[in-house]
Every structure is written in structure tokens, then in C-alpha cells.
Amino acid sequence: MSAAAPTVRRIDRKPGKLVPVLVVTLAILAIWYAGAYWMNRSLALDVFARQKVVPTTEQLVDATWSMERPLLPAPHQIAVEVWKTTADQKITSKRSLVYHAWVTLSATLAGFVSGTLLGILLAIGIVHVASLEKSLMPWIIASQTIPIVAIAPMIVVVGYNLLNGQLGVSTDASRFIAKAMISTYLSFFPITVGLVKGFRSPEIMHLDLMRTYSASRAQTFWKLRLPAAMPYLFTSMQVAIAISLVGAIVGEMPTGASAGIGARLLAGSYYGQTIQIWSALFAASLLAAILVWMVGLGGTAVVKRMGMAR
């Protein structure tokens, strides 16, 4: 609600979300600390037993929250790790989380942009060519039920071999393109499905009005269908960007990549570096939240600019 809204309406305004969200977040943190104590307890007790020390409760709690390789690291350990790998490192360093996040983010964005373009083209084709719709649409819907991420390692390896081995593209570029291909593949489905719905969303009355103006198909498309589809486009873009991030992360696992959030997760799981896994996860979550939020912001801005905001 804007600031200029009449004060009378504030009475039936719903109570804010900030306080409950904060309380729930604090509760989650509390449960997390308790869980860290409970899960790491036996590990910590082992250490004390080896030192032949009988720990006080305070010592034990302290030990469970500051272990080198805990089963569940305490939140502050993750925060410290994230701080160490972002602020204390140069951005270009291989130990910097920012560097790894950027490697993943660049592939995500490349895949997202090309996937969005592909999805838009497919949707336009489906809306305008009847035989394309009848034959393609069931497959697009069916393909939603197929575990696409499962194909990811194959696309990565095949694409990588093709580019690096056969076409002589450099190692890094091949890896980048292979990852972007997965992101493209994952992100164009939601865009196509959402946009087809959006292009069909104008009411018959509006389409008839365009016909009374003797508007051509192209005019109807640009002036009615496309604007009407905008909210659908941005909603599906939010889904698409989240899923293309997942694609890029999964794509970093099989080719022996040494950079990127996925590679970081895999390396962490090989060497049992729990804190590294959690900080990579944290980076991935932050990235996902920011990306989805930015697409949502862009959508709101466009829809508002078009005067469609409700």
C-alpha cells in the first residue's frame, strides 16, 4: 500500500509479516544450535575420552559448537567461514567464495538468457501454428515429468567432449558452455508453458475488438497478446532462473570442474569438509534468493510501467 493511501483503510490492513518472520527465524536458529549440540555430542565426547578428560556441560556445549568437522556445524561457524572466504580473500583467488559464486552465476545467467529466448520463440510458434501446438505441446508437458537434471551429467560430458575434443574450444569455455546448455535446457520449459498460457490469456472480447480494428496477426500479437502475457512471462522467469541455477550447480559436478558452487559442494563432500559444504549451500541459497527477487522486481516494474498493476 502506498504512503498516499487514505488512513481509514489502514485499520483493516493485515498485521505485518516482519515480526513473525523474525521470530520464526530465531526459533530455527535456536533449534539449529540445539541440533548441533545433539548431533555432534558423541563426536565431542570421543575427543574428550581420548584426552581422558571428563568435560563439564559448558565445555561440552562449547566443543560441539566449534568442531573442525562437525556433523552439523553451528550457524556462527558457517558465518565465520563465509566471512573468511569472502571478505578475507581476494575476489580472484580460488579460495574465495565470491569467485566460485561468480563462476556459477555467469553460467546460470547465460543459460537463463538463452533459455528465455528459446522459450519465447517456441511459445510464439506454438500460439501461431496449430500443428506445432498439437504435436509439440503434449511433449513439452510430458517432458516436465521427466527428470531433466538426471540428463545433466551426460549433456555436460557430451557437450564438453564435443567442444573441447572435436571443435578445439578451450577447457574453460567448453565447461562454461556445457553448463549454460543445461541451464538453457532446464529454463526454457517453464517459460514456454507459462507464455503459451499468457498469449492465450486475452479475453475473446479483446481479440474480437482487435478484429473490428482489422488488426493484422502481427498487430494483435504486439499490441494485445504480448502485453497480456507479461505477468505470466515474469512469473515463469522466476521459476526458470531458480531452476537454471540448480542446473548450473549440478552441471559443475561431473566434468571434474574445479571452480563453481557445485564443485565446491563435491569437494567438500569428498574431504568431509562440512563447513565448506554449508557455506557453499549458503552462497547458493543467497544467490537463488537474490536472482528470484531481482526477476520479481523487474516484473513488478514492467507491469507497473505498463499500467497493469493491480
Residues in the site for other proteins, rule: CB under 8 A? 15, 17, 19-25, 28, 39, 71, 130-131, 133-136, 138-139, 142, 144-151, 153-154, 157-158, 161-162, 238, 242, 245-246, 249-250, 253-254, 261, 265-266, 268-269, 272, 274, 277-278, 280-281, 284-285, 288-289, 292
Rounded CA-CA distance 56/74 in Å is: 20
* Cβ closest to other proteins, residue 66 vs residue 161: 161
Rounded CA-CA distance 248/260 in Å is: 9
* Cβ closest to other proteins, residue 153 vs residue 227: 153
* Cβ closest to other proteins, residue 224 vs residue 245: 245
Shortest Cβ 223–other proteins spacing (Å): 26
Shortest Cβ 305–other proteins spacing (Å): 25
Shortest Cβ 53–other proteins spacing (Å): 27
Shortest Cβ 160–other proteins spacing (Å): 10
Q: Are the C-beta atoms of residues 200 and 128 closer than 8 Å to each other? A: no
Shortest Cβ 291–other proteins spacing (Å): 9
* Cβ closest to other proteins, residue 97 vs residue 224: 97
* Cβ closest to other proteins, residue 45 vs residue 162: 162
* Cβ closest to other proteins, residue 22 vs residue 54: 22
Q: What sign has the CA pseudo-torsion 142, 144, 145, 147?
A: positive
Instruction: Please tell me what DSSP assigns to residue 306.
Output: T
DSSP states of 43-63 as a string?
HHHHHHHHTT----HHHHHHH
Residue 193 DSSP SS3 = helix
Strands (E), 57-201: none
Q: Are the C-beta atoms of residues 117 and 166 closer than 8 Å to each other? A: no
Shortest Cβ 249–other proteins spacing (Å): 5
Q: Which of 269, 265, 292 is nearest to 281 (CA)?
A: 265
Cell numbers found for residue 156: 555436460
Q: Which of 146, 85, 141, 142 is nearest to 275 (CA)?
A: 85
